[in-house]
Amino acid sequence: MKMKNKKSGAGALKKFLPYYKKYRGTMIFDLFCAALTTVCELVLPMIVRRITGAASSENLSELTLELILGTGALYILLRIIDTAANYFMTSTGHIMGTRIETDMRRDLFSHLQKLSFSYYDNTKVGTLMSRMTADLFDVTEFAHHCPEEFFIAGIKIIGSFILLCTINVPLTLIVFSVIPVILIVSVVFRLKMRANFRESRKQIGELNSQIEDSLLGIRVTKSFARESEEAQKFDTGNCEYLRIKAERYRIMGAFHSSTRLFDGIMYIVVVIVGAIFMMGLGGLPAITPADYVAYLMFVTTLLTSIRRIVEFAEQFQLGLSGIERFNEIMETEPEIKDAPNATDLCNVAGKVEFCDVSFHYETEQRNVLTHLDLCVKAGENVALVGPSGGGKTTLCSLIPRFYEISSGKILIDGTDIKSVTMRSLRECIGVVAQDVYLFSGSVKDNIAYGKIGATDQEIEEAARLAGAHDFIADLPNGYDTYVGERGVKLSGVQKQRISIARLFLKNPPILILDEATSALDNESERLVQKSLEALAKGRTTFTIAHRLTTVRNADRILVLTENGIEESGTHTELLQKGGIYSELYQLYAEIE
Ligand code: ADP
Ligand code: MG
């Protein structure tokens, strides 16, 4: 298990290293500054030792003003260097980390743009958001702190080891033998804390989704008078959180106390064993009182270094798992990609053919479409009707290749859609769906989405064709009115008309209208229907509608059920036939 972790960790790091490449110079400078910040700490005990040594000599004869000023000046100089080095390390280090974060986020975002519908069907957007932000922030911190901190601690530990060895080797070895014990105990505690931390994070996630679910459903709760049951349900999760948190503080308490205990042990060793060495017992090389002071001071340096290593071992883990999650997305291949020799689909007339097409969703076993054959002439207006779940939406989403068919072929003007570039394919197909997504921005921006670089005149023309111009002109800022997040400031008809204007600009030869008017009331539907009819003129159109009146005038009506296309013909033909369609129509007429 551990081996596996290590292996994947190393693999993750390998993928991450190229991001450093651009900043190699900055990194070296950063580490150089980091090295400089250790000098003061290493030199101070030596200076103090020198001065104490001079002072404890007979008659203080060696403690001269010269010595004091000399060492003082050296220390002041080192402090100045230390301040500057620390400034550069903190600022450039963090900036470099953020640059790397920005690069990674850019890559991640453009990769997410490439992933297919099926990926988003099975992924929560919330998770992706936290990957784009919080996880990558962990990576930034990791990117510069880890090299810096390990480098600094390494220099301090090795440096003090060497310096102390120049004073007294046996005593140094005794003092340093305590370090591995401290490291092991700290790491064990940290691991425990991390496991707990993960648990509590998960619990907070659960708690959040429970709160969200309950509050979103508050109207249902109230209408069923189930408030106390909801509160009870909530309390279970809340108490679980308390249990996890309490556990954490117990581990934390033990950890902090053990750290203090080890600090104590370190000092006890130096105070007692050092003093014994001062006595010069057992023929061991003796140390002077000045050396004794230096040892005590180095112990402080050592203890802080160890503590930082332990702290950053945790950040290292966090960063690593951030990188792993990053790689996980980057390694997800878009399910649908352009073929290597894909060509552009040009001058499309709009003939669409399904040849023996079968399809099932990646996550399902059951085929939605089985051996389906269908030929739609250029400019033909085809209506798809049938029971909900019959596969109408699915069939239409195969034409722009939103999903990849399992077998068979789809041809546009006789060309297999798999052999053309996705961009050119989707350029020639327009989709109007039941729910319209408007980007947060102005009305104009949203219409202009249909055509890159559309002029104001073109936009207005498209809006007029879609019957949207009048209401847009009445908005407080006309075309520059902000539509709100997802277009909340507009009514259903207004949104739908903007989405139609968008398609007038795009001007695709093939059109898919998937229950475009279903969410609207009768009056609004009539308005939008008029715009849609204008849009459909001269284009190959697939209309899906559950209000059968809207499809009466179609050139051909297809009844799609689980068994495939069961009936096909004009409204009158199908009514005469007396099959599924006529049944549906009668039922529908009764309801209306
Ligand atoms: P219709 O538009 O005729 O109501 P759909 O094409 O939406 O029917 O759905 C056809 C079948 O495919 C249904 O059984 C539905 O559950 C399933 N389905 C639709 N979308 C997905 C999806 N994204 N992932 C998995 N199954 C889906
Ligand atoms: Mg549908």
Spell out the domain ranges in the chain. 2-333, 337-428+512-592, 436-507
Q: Decide: 518 in ligand 1 pocket, CB within 6 A.
A: no
Least confident of 104-113, 283-292, 384-393: 283-292
pTM reported for the whole predicted model:
0.80
pLDDT of residue 357: 95
Nearest-CA neighbor of 248 among 197, 319, 323, 315? 197
- How far from chain centre, in Å, is Cα 300? 41
Share of the chain above pLDDT 90, in %: 50
394 alpha carbon, closest ligand: 1
Token couple for 44 = 């101070």
Q: Decide: 392 in ligand 1 pocket, CB within 6 A.
A: yes
Token couple for 307 = 């503590």
Examine the pLDDT at 4 and tell me if it is beyond 70.
Answer: no
Examine the pLDDT at 95 and tell me if it is beyond 80.
Answer: yes
CATH superfamily of 337-428+512-592: P-loop containing nucleotide triphosphate hydrolases (3.40.50.300)
Gap from CA of 392 to ligand 2 centroid (Å): 6
Rounded Cα–Cα distance for residues 328 and 323 (Å): 9
Rounded Cα–Cα distance for residues 250 and 62 (Å): 54
Mean pLDDT over the full length of the chain? 88
Strand order in the sheet with 564-569: 429-432, 510-514, 540-544, 381-385, 556-561, 564-569
Q: What is the mean pLDDT of residues 503-532?
A: 87
Gap from CA of 408 to ligand 2 centroid (Å): 22
pLDDT of residue 5: 43
pLDDT band at 2 (very low <50, low <70, confident <90, very high): very low
Using DSSP, state whether 357 is helix, strand or coil: strand
pLDDT of residue 100: 93
Same fold, 337-428+512-592 and 436-507: yes
Examine the pLDDT at 281 and tell me if it is beyond 80.
Answer: no
Examine the pLDDT at 135 and tell me if it is beyond 90.
Answer: no
Rounded Cα–Cα distance for residues 267 and 5 (Å): 37
Nearest-CA neighbor of 354 among 176, 487, 542? 542
pLDDT of residue 205: 79
In this structure, which residue's CA is closest to atom 13 in ligand 1?
389
Secondary element (H or E) of residue 555? none
pLDDT digits (tens, 9 = 90+) for 229-268: 999 989 998 999 899 999 989 998 998 899 889 889 999 9
pLDDT of residue 6: 42
Examine the pLDDT at 486 and tell me if it is beyond 80.
Answer: no
Beta bridge partners of 514: 544
pLDDT band at 8 (very low <50, low <70, confident <90, very high): low
Using DSSP, state whether 386 is helix, strand or coil: coil
pLDDT digits (tens, 9 = 90+) for 158-207: 999 999 999 999 899 998 998 888 888 888 888 888 888 888 878 887 88
Gap from CA of 222 to ligand 1 centroid (Å): 32
Q: Decide: 390 in ligand 1 pocket, CB within 6 A.
A: yes
Examine the pLDDT at 1 and tell me if it is beyond 60.
Answer: no
Architecture of the structural domain at 2-333: Up-down Bundle (1.20)
pLDDT of residue 480: 93
Gap from CA of 439 to ligand 2 centroid (Å): 23
Architecture of the structural domain at 436-507: 3-Layer(aba) Sandwich (3.40)
In this structure, which residue's CA is closest to atom 20 in ligand 1?
394
CA distances from 487 to 20, 433, 442 (A): 41, 15, 9
pLDDT band at 7 (very low <50, low <70, confident <90, very high): very low
pLDDT digits (tens, 9 = 90+) for 430-443: 999 888 888 888 99
